[in-house]
Amino acid sequence: MSISISIFLILYLIYLLIFFIFSLFNVWHLQRFGFSGFWPYAITFGYIAATILVLAVTVIFLIPIDWSTPLPFFESLPID
Amino acid sequence: MYSRRNFPNQKPNEHVILFLRRHWIAPLKIFFIGFILALIPVLLYFVFSSISALWERESFMAMFILALSGYYLFVLLYTFADFVDYYLDVWIVTNERIINIEQKGLFARVISEKELVIMQDITSEIEGFWHTVFNYGDIFIQTAGEKERFVFKQVPRADEVARKISNLVSESRRLRQGALEDWN
């Protein structure tokens, strides 16, 4: 039995879900309780743009990864 | 979103005289801290880039990319949440009352208001090098109650604002007194 590195991808996706929930909370708070002006829209747009950039770069670097590669710990164990 | 001219629970004939937030130094600090946090992985890369054996393992690369992505998303969220907390803290002085709206974290919001006529003591405090250079400080407003009721934190031109509020309080009391005399 071996565990592949895809487990980290699953943990990362769970982390992403939590990130999106908290992001929505913040955007909703700003929209619901904030006073209208240039900066809330500008900062929100900048935040969304930066998030998309981070996710895009992450996807680009993750595409070539073989997710079936076993974890380093399990590589060294003999399989009987 | 609310408007600076039309805010919730606004009374008839009530209009905004002062709309205050913390000095622009506050969001600048937030973004500066975010920038420093974003630089940390770059510095660590220069420290660990010489260990080539690690970078050749695909499993390490995958974990590293996911960890780095998670870290930057955290920094973004932390900075954004801090900005939202700053932006939602406002102090509104109208011709009738003072409204203090304070966001405490993500799930707590405190709104308090008092009429101008019951304000007893208004004190401004500009203390420290940066406060003096950029002319911002705190204003403490004491009402007729026992505890300090309002604190305007890091507002621009604190001394001018305090003087303006003091004048508004005097004017409010004069108008109230005049109305009572007309009634009698």
pLDDT in tens, B29-72: 999 999 999 999 988 888 777 766 666 677 788 888 999 999 99
Shortest alpha-carbon distance between residue A80 and chain B (Å): 23
Point out the residue among B3, B58, B77 whose CB comes nearest to the CB of A66. B58
Residue A32 lies in a domain: yes
Residue A40 lies in a domain: yes
Give residue B5's pLDDT: 73
Which whole number is the average pLDDT over B73-97? 93
Answer yes or no: do B84 and A29 touch at CB < 8 A.
Answer: yes
- pLDDT (tens place) for every residue of chain A, 80 residues total: 677 888 889 999 999 999 999 999 999 998 888 888 888 899 999 999 999 999 999 999 999 888 888 776 655 544 44
Shortest alpha-carbon distance between residue B140 and chain A (Å): 24
C-alpha B109/C-alpha B101 separation (Å) is: 7
Give residue B8's pLDDT: 73
Q: Give me the domain span that covers residue A24.
A: 6-73
Q: Please provide the DSSP assignment of B124-147 as one string.
A: EE--SHHHHHHTEEEEEEEESSSS
Any B CB within 8 A of A80 CB = no
Residue A78 lies in a domain: no
Give residue A80's pLDDT: 46
Answer yes or no: do B83 and A69 touch at CB < 8 A.
Answer: no
Give residue A44's pLDDT: 93
C-alpha A48/C-alpha A53 separation (Å) is: 9
Residue A61 lies in a domain: yes
| Count of structural domains within chain A | 1
Which whole number is the average pLDDT over B147-151? 74
Residue A67 lies in a domain: yes
Is B133 a residue whose pLDDT tops 60? yes
The residue assigned the tokens 């801290």 is: B33
Residue A49 lies in a domain: yes
Give residue A64's pLDDT: 87
C-alpha B119/C-alpha B153 separation (Å) is: 18
Point out the residue among B7, B62, B80 whose CB comes nearest to the CB of A65. B62
Q: Give which of B176, B115, B109 is closest to B150, Cα–Cα.
A: B115
Give residue A27's pLDDT: 93
Give residue A3's pLDDT: 77
H-state helical runs in chain B: 25-48, 52-56, 58-87, 129-134, 158-183
Any A CB within 8 A of B76 CB = yes
Any A CB within 8 A of B151 CB = no
- Residues of A with CB below 8 A from B109's CB? 33
Residue A18 lies in a domain: yes
Mutate to test the interface with A, among B83, B90, B99, B100 (most CBs of A within 10 A): B83
Least confident of A25-29, A49-53, B21-25, B178-182: B178-182
Residue A1 lies in a domain: no
